[in-house]
C-alpha cells in the first residue's frame, strides 16, 4: 500500500506508475492523478506538442516507414478484417467521389456488352 501525494488516497502498489529514480521504484502520484496532470499539461502546451510531433515526423520519415511496415506485418489479420468490414462503405464512398473510376462488379456484364458490340 502506498499513499498518493496528490489525492492523499492510500492505494495498492499497482495503482502507481513505475519511476526508477524513486527509492521504491514507483511514482509519488497514482495513475489517475498522473493522467490528470498529463491532460492539463497537454492543454496548456497543446500547440507546442503538436508542432514538436510534426517536426519529428518531418525529420524521421524512415522511422515512420519502418514502424508502419512492422505494424502491418504484426496486425495483418486485423487489417484484413477491417477492410472486409468496410467494403460496402468504401464502395459507396468511391462511387460518390470517383464516379468515373468506380468499378462495380454487379454491372460487369453491361460493360462487356458495350465493348463487345461493334
DSSP for 26-51? EEEEEHHHHHHHHHHHHHHTHHHHHH
Instruction: Identify the pLDDT of residue 99.
Output: 82
pTM of the model: 0.57
- What ranges in the chain are assigned the alpha helix state H? 31-44, 46-59, 61-74, 76-85, 87-97, 108-116
What pLDDT, on a 0 to 100 scale, did the predictor assign at position 60? 98
- Of 91, 40, 70, which Cα lies nearest the Cα of 29? 40
What is the per-residue pLDDT for 111?
53
Give me the residues of the chain with pLDDT under 70, please.
Answer: 102-118
Q: Within a domain: residue 54?
A: no
Does any domain span residue 55? Answer: no
What is the pLDDT at residue 95?
85
Contact between residue 57 and residue 49 where contact means Cβ atoms under 8 Å apart: no
Q: Is residue 16 part of a domain?
A: yes
Tally of structural domains, the chain: 2
Which bin fits 8, alpha (ψ -120 to 50), beta or left (φ > 0)?
A: left
In a domain, 18, yes or no: yes
CA distance 42 to 99: 43
Same domain assignment for residues 24 and 66: no
pLDDT digits 0-9 by tens, 32-57: 999 999 999 999 999 999 999 999 99
Amino acid at each position: 500500500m502506498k499513499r498518493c501525494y496528490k489525492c492523499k488516497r492510500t492505494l495498492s502498489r499497482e495503482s502507481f506508475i513505475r519511476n526508477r529514480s524513486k527509492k521504491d521504484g514507483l511514482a509519488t502520484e497514482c495513475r489517475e492523478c498522473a493522467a490528470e496532470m498529463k491532460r492539463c499539461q497537454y492543454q496548456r502546451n497543446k500547440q507546442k506538442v503538436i508542432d514538436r510531433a510534426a517536426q519529428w515526423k518531418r525529420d524521421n520519415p524512415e522511422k515512420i516507414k519502418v514502424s508502419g511496415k512492422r505494424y502491418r506485418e504484426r496486425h495483418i489479420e486485423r487489417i484484413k478484417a477491417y477492410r472486409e468490414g468496410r467494403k460496402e462503405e468504401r464502395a459507396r464512398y468511391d462511387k460518390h467521389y470517383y464516379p468515373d473510376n468506380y468499378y462495380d462488379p454487379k454491372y460487369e456484364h453491361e460493360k462487356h456488352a458495350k465493348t463487345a458490340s461493334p
